[in-house]
Amino acid sequence: MTVTDPQYDEAVTRLEKDFDIPTESLNIILEEFIREFDKGLGTHGHSVPMIPTYIYRLPTGKEKGTYLAIDLGGTNLRVCRVDLLGNHKFEIHQEKYMISEELKLARAMDLFDYIAGCVSTFISSNCSDGHPQGQGGWKIGFTFSFPVEYVSRECGIGCWKIRFHETISHDVPYPMLTFVHISPKDNFTLTTAPSSVGPRASTVPTPSAKTSLSFFRMPLTNVNATVVAIINDTTGALVATNYTDADANVGLIFGTGTNAAYVEELGAMHKCLKEEEANTIKEKLKKHGHRAKMVVNTEWGALDNDDVVLPRTKYDHTLDADSVHPRTQAFEKMISGMYLGEIARLALVDLMNQGILFADVEEGEDERRRRREFWDREYEAWLTANMSAVESDTTPNLTHTEHILMTPFTQPSTLRDRQLIQRVCQLVGRRAATLSALGVAAIVRKRNLIEGHKTCHVAVDGTLVNKYPYFKERMQETLCKIFGEEEAKRIVFVHAEDGSGVGAALVAMLASQEMHLEE
């Protein structure tokens, strides 16, 4: 079958229309994002939870001291010693420890006992000079790389996506691990509990719950160490970057997933007045008024779950319907690295079904069947990494793209096929960057971060923003459309510091200072 130019041009035009976001729609989407932010700040139970972190200020860059950090991800455990040197400088020493598959499937208590052992080993090896004078032992910040809803500085409900022995029988989307602070000398109690509302529970089990498990108690008591704060990586990225860059007001992650954290006026955090720290918040508002602040973890991947403004295509709807949790994380499914390759794959398969893509390639029936079997492999046949490589291909005949197509599966292609594939990748990638910029713009406008010639540095990290071609440039183009070129120049993307390590240690420092003030 030979595709005529009109057929080809019509297919490309249709795709461009599907993935384009008209300039006149930008402010409509932006304002809806702000409305969702406000709802999440006001009361519980909304798609975008706007989680209070109970971090009431950012560092100045002048702080000194030595603090520890625990960074728990899905594969590795990292333990860090961070020496704050003042003058916006720090030093970090770290060790990584593997989390085995057996531990992921074991009892939660076994995993945390293992973590405690790793921390003790790290302290013995890297902290032989003894804990800093006047700190009452080693203070630790714990980065939990999963969504955590805090009810106080040291207490949070965490969404754990690794099924432990204790939680495997719970018929809920995300088994819950709840950290309940008892007292500094007791450290934490870990409570497992099913969530009745999906990703985040709205109530906190009491410390006396029968399912309580010891968390770091005996091992860390032996080395005089206390976990004083729980954070997520996005919050950590903002705090860590602000230590070295006082203009950093927003922290963003654009990688496999996406999230944002920023500093909000404490007076806007209406739902916090019903929480465990309500009295503390009232006192801060009374003392500091509109100058009282708190860092907010937006968990903005759930923006527009109600399908109000995001310009979804049929490919987005298919991806969502076939996902593990349909009708959730709508924003994330359109902009994050986990999903972009799959959106592109769905579009490419549609072009094959229309007889547009690979139509001029000579192949037998068996070859055609094998090709279809390959391209029907969800989240495997075409990855975001493939998109990145194709968009980077500037060779005259797109020979790099040809090699990519021939590597996982011997897929012959014409130059026009490769041009079409590159165009699909460009459209999916550009839309992701545009929507990402709208999220940034919503925070900037909501907080008036560039009002009066102010400059806003946005700390960004993640594989998309670091490695995907033209991602930051496309975001900047969108910001120019929204704010105008001159104002958009005052929104500066800077590389985020190590949020999971340095950020966690800094939050431990801030929490320790806050606790000292409360004594």
Q: What is the pLDDT of residue 145?
A: 63
Give the 3-state secondary structure percentages of the chain, helix then strand then coil, rounded to 5: 45, 20, 35
Q: What is the pLDDT of residue 79?
A: 95
Q: What is the pLDDT of residue 151?
A: 52
Q: What is the pLDDT of residue 266?
A: 92
Q: Which residues contact 40 (CB under 8 A, 6 or more apart)?
A: 46, 47, 48, 49, 50, 298
Q: What is the pLDDT of residue 218?
A: 39
Angle between helices 415-447 and 471-483 (to 10 degrees): 50
Residue stretches of the chain with pLDDT short of 70: 1-3, 74, 108, 130-136, 145-222, 275-276, 516-519
Q: What is the pLDDT of residue 217?
A: 42
pLDDT in tens, 31-68: 999 999 999 999 988 999 999 988 999 999 999 999 99
Distance of alpha carbon 212 from alpha carbon 189, whole angstroms = 6
Considering the entire predicted model, what is its pTM? Answer: 0.86
Is residue 159 within 8 Å of 89, Cβ to Cβ? no
Q: What is the pLDDT of residue 333?
A: 98
Q: What is the pLDDT of residue 82?
A: 96
Q: What is the pLDDT of residue 361?
A: 87
Q: What is the pLDDT of residue 185?
A: 33
The residues pairing with 231 across neighbouring beta strands, listed in sequence order, are: 143
Q: Write out the two tokens for 109.
A: 């208590």
- The CATH architecture one would assign to domain 52-194+214-249+268-287+497-512 is 2-Layer Sandwich (3.30)
Q: What is the 3-state secondary structure (H, E, C) of 45-111?
A: CCCCCCEECCCCCCCCCCCEEEEEEEEECCCEEEEEEEEEEECCEEEEEEEEEECCHHHHHCCHHHH
Q: What is the pLDDT of residue 214?
A: 36
